[in-house]
Structure 1
């Protein structure tokens, strides 16, 4: 691992990547609701991102046209100021009531003061669309080029080199109070059988900060 090495229990993450299960415009047989459980905006806003982020930190937040401006509200709720956006252009059309959408947007927010490490990054790129909600692996490389670690990805669907991950579909490296995921049960079972774990727990006190 590089500087994405998992921090100890007292550390926080300098760069956080989030791909929330947005509820907006995701109903019907072709929407995300048919693939996985969605969250309400209230539950998304209530996530203790402030307890996870360092005092000076970057937030990368995925959104799509129907949630583009709601995502900025969520970002502010988490203590970050919107700064810029990156657009992923897809090679296939998706859904849309007016235009058939062929892009998703990655917002960049900053908490405190933290400049990017690299100033030559283009704000748009074309990358192939994969299975539903599968974001390009190239984005992790881009984020590591732009932002310092340690790194955390929330709602991750697969392991990512250099990143701690959390979500329903991965063996999560952290626990978040009030937001249980399947691997929490595995970790609890291992603890009860005296098996050491490497999970970082976000404490209730920190979550309320």
Structure 2
């Protein structure tokens, strides 16, 4: 039996690269609430549970002083604020995107979506003249207006990250099912960082799938 008593430090210990952190993030999560019907988002792409959205390490991706812009709609408006706080941000304001077409709704037919602004630490906005409402064209399902990226860049300093992105945008890192992602998020595999034998989208839609991925 050999006892290894060598206590000499490794002259070249592995160095873990620091994770890039962002001062402005857009999050467009695939909410499950009210989206299971024939015309809901479930017919377009996989959804995530509320618990899986809340457990995302958004706070770890953000700088100590950062802004997060979090998309929601009327039936997720209340829980979105709770999730923001769980990520380490305080809710400070909101922007409303008015659409030129009616959408779904059990009471009002919704023609808007809301972008919540959360702040981590202390980070004032760079532009004080931004209106809280704009009518912007509706495109394909859940495609948010590119004008939003420009608005965020006026309001907040970079680096910039869009989560659940559907296409690249100049000056931004992106992550999601439909893009070649610039980052990996442990427990949340996307096609660009994990290979699976399922055609089409491969988002994690519940905690059990995340554990088995």
Shorter-chain TM band: 0.7 to 0.9
Q: Equivalents in 2 of 1:69, 1:49: separation in Å?
A: 19
Q: Which residue of 2 aligns with 1:113?
A: 122
SS at match of 1:183: coil
Q: Which has the larger radius of gyration?
A: 2
Q: Equivalents in 1 of 2:59, 2:67: separation in Å?
A: 11
Answering whether residue 70 of structure 2 is matched by residue 61 of structure 1, we say yes
Q: Equivalents in 1 of 2:141, 2:194: separation in Å?
A: 27
SS at match of 2:192: helix
Alignment of 1:1-209 (within 5 A): 9-185=18-194
Cα-to-partner distance string for 1:90-115 (whole Å, 9 max, x where unaligned): 00000000000000000000000000
Q: Equivalents in 1 of 2:149, 2:59: separation in Å?
A: 21
Q: Equivalents in 1 of 2:111, 2:33: separation in Å?
A: 17
Q: Equivalents in 2 of 1:49, 1:108: separation in Å?
A: 14
Q: May I ask how many residue pairs the two structures share in their alignment?
A: 179
Cα-to-partner distance string for 1:124-174 (whole Å, 9 max, x where unaligned): 000111110000000000000000000000000100111100001100000
SS at match of 1:43: helix
1:9 Cα shift?
4.0
1:11 Cα shift?
2.9
TM-score by length of 1: 0.84
SS at match of 2:166: coil
Q: Equivalents in 2 of 1:161, 1:86: separation in Å?
A: 22
Higher RCO (CA < 8 A, seq sep 6+): 1
Q: Equivalents in 1 of 2:18, 2:152: separation in Å?
A: 24
Greater helix proportion? 1
Q: Which residue of 2 aligns with 1:203?
A: none
Q: Equivalents in 2 of 1:152, 1:9: separation in Å?
A: 16
CA RMSD of aligned residues (A): 1.0
Q: Equivalents in 1 of 2:59, 2:96: separation in Å?
A: 25
TM-score by length of 2: 0.82
Q: Equivalents in 2 of 1:157, 1:10: separation in Å?
A: 23
Stretches of 4+ moved more than 4 A in 1?
Answer: none
